[in-house]
Structure 1
Amino acid sequence: MNGDGIKFGGNQAPPKGTHRSKGSHLVTGCKSYDNKGSGFAQNNSAGSLTLIGCDADRNGADNILGANVKTTKGNFNFPYNPGSPNVFTFTNCTTKGKCTIYSAAKVTGGTVTATSPNTPLAPIS
């Protein structure tokens, strides 16, 4: 376990990058606090993800317990573009700390902001 709270997608078991989830997910009203990794994590998901009314605080780099002082993960960690036609949508989600969300994500309401470059996931071979 890497300390992430709510994880989407697959892992990177050998061969690296080939175990990606392309399924869509809808998460409503979930809370994620005090994880040593990120509160909500893309975790190699290449599908559409929709989060509505979700809240994350004190996770990863913002963890006040100091459980993982080396991490750069934030409360919402969605750094990669899942690729067309999929998109990440955050509606009325909140956090007081760090977020890493790829720049083309749809963010409406709440205090979550898209901050990451629009970096695509590597192709699955």
Structure 2
Amino acid sequence: MAAAAAGGGGSAALGDGGAIDYSVHEAWNEATNVYLLVVLASLALLVYTRRNKRRILRIFALPPAAAGLPPPHTDFYSGLKKIRLRQQLEMYSIARKYEQQQQPPKQTESVQLSVE
């Protein structure tokens, strides 16, 4: 019975003719190798960051000249205000020109009648 159970459970690993199918084992070995490489690369990166912490922090730190400047978003909003004001002035001048074109010209000529 033990032999029958072992034969029945092992039939999934046996291919045609009773040869053992190693594709599952090869895939497992490749996945394990990739996992080990990722772990080793992560450890190497961790060691590098611990040794060069100051150099890495210097990359992400702001330069001292930028510390005294006002925040950049204020320049952005002041630029938007100037653009909006320019647009409003352009629209006003276009509206004035349109109004002048729509008004009929005033007659400045005067007719003098003389009574005889």
TM range (shorter): under 0.3
Bigger relative CO (Cα 8 Å, ≥ 6 apart): 1
- Return the index of the structure with the highest Cα Rg: 2
